Amino acid sequence: MCGIVGLHLKSPGLYPQLGARLSEMLLAMSERGPDSAGIAIYEEGLPEGSFRYSLRAPGPGYDWAAMTQRLDWAAAIRPVADDAVLTAPGNPVAVLERLADQAPELRVFSYGNTMEVYKDVGDPTAICDRYGIAQRSGYQGLGHTRMATESAVTTDHSHPFAAAADLCLVHNGSFSNHATIRRRLADEGVVCTTDNDSEVAARFIAYHMARGDDLGAALRKVLAEFDGFFTLLVAARDQFAVVRDTFACKPAVIAEAPDFVAMASEYRALAGLPGIEEADVFEPMPEEIHIWSR
């Protein structure tokens, strides 16, 4: 059992509230996942051609300033608790290769022009406080509270899983054939860094989108090829999507209002949103794919 939440804001006037609202939603789902938690924030502001890289330090007290000097290239670092966000221009493939070569002790959680990911082991309230989520602004975000069933309780195994630029996924449920699909992806050169079944779904979606599928087509392939019980919330730079499996036994509630679209595992995570009384609140049906675009 895990808890997932997401918020896609249509009204720019609400952008300053994103972090506070997303934190409240995530904390309402704390009982569904006490092991670990994670949040993805989508925020504009970088010029085209520049990317943010969400980095995990090997331990407390890591010297980010020294690391930036060691890299000796056009990049800026913003420490956040023990982690940091690196901003750099240029091809992300080249930047990721350079990070792997010159700072192999770091873990890259995500990259993108608009997306930042924060995740950790422990209580969701403490994690939101540690990374200052309530103070963040942006146009969409998603979050996850985890109760581990398929793999270890570590920061790397926690959600969201980000497998491409500005693309990430949170998942409630389990896939029974993830090992088979993992091997198939490996034959195509796609490497998973954990044994978490949810990462396989994230890599699968990114793989097909890199080969020309839009998000909807990639999610239809998830429905066709993955066995198990699942609710997925997937965010891309300009899209926000929800899909459930054939049986739809993992809970999901969506609220669509003039100013926002919100999704959560349970309605109580949506109850405090402004304008929820006027929202169209519904439960997505089995194998329905719901996608909203900016």
Give the DSSP H/E element, type plus range, for residue 27: helix 18-28
pLDDT at 177: 95
Which residues make up the CATH 3.30.70.260 domain(s) of the chain? 48-113
Beta strands in 63-106 (DSSP E): 76-80, 83-89
Which among 109, 127, 100 has a CA at the least distance from the CA of 29?
A: 127
Q: How far apart are CA 26 and CA 124, in angstroms?
A: 7
Which residue intervals of the chain bear CATH 3.60.20.10? 3-44+114-293
Of the residues 2, 128, 168, 192, which is catalytic? 2
Q: Measured between alpha carbons, how far is 236 from 145 in angstroms, rounded to an integer?
A: 20
Spatial contact of 170 and 233, defined as CB atoms under 8 Å apart = yes
Are the CB atoms for 293 and 216 separated by under 8 Å? no
Buried b (16+ CB within 10 A) or exposed e, 262-272: bbbbbeebbee
First and final C-alpha spacing in the chain: 31
The residue written with tokens 């779904």 in the block is 201
Sign of dihedral through CA atoms 237, 264, 216, 282?
negative
Among 3.30.70.260, 3.60.15.10, 3.40.50.10860, 3.30.70.3290, what is the CATH number of 48-113?
Answer: 3.30.70.260
Which whole-number Å values give the CA distances from 43 to 32, 236, 255, 268, in the listed order? 27, 12, 22, 26
Residue 132 tokens, joined: 């200052």
pLDDT of residue 35: 83
Q: What is the mean pLDDT of the chain?
A: 93
Any catalytic annotation for residue 2? Answer: yes
The domain made up of 3-44+114-293 has a fold known as: Glutamine Phosphoribosylpyrophosphate, subunit 1, domain 1 (3.60.20)
- Is the peptide bond preceding residue 160 cis, with omega within 30 degrees of 0? yes
Beta bridge partners of 174: 229
Q: What is the mean pLDDT of each run of 10 residues along the chain (294 residues)?
A: 92 97 94 85 93 94 87 84 92 92 93 96 90 97 81 75 96 93 97 93 98 98 96 97 94 96 97 94 96 96
Q: What integer pLDDT is reported at residue 8 of this predicted model?
A: 98
The HSE-up count of residue 183 (CA atoms within 13 Å, CB side) is: 3
Q: Name the CA dihedral angle for 284, 128, 124, 145, rounded to a multiple of 10 degrees.
A: 30
Name residues whose C-beta falls within 8 Å of residue 114's C-beta, 6 or more positions apart in sequence: 42, 43, 44, 46, 52, 138, 166, 237
- H helices present in 134-177, as ranges: none
Residue that is written with structure tokens 């195509």 in the block? 188
Residue 104 CA, chain-centre distance (Å), reads 23
Token pair for residue 231?
């609710």
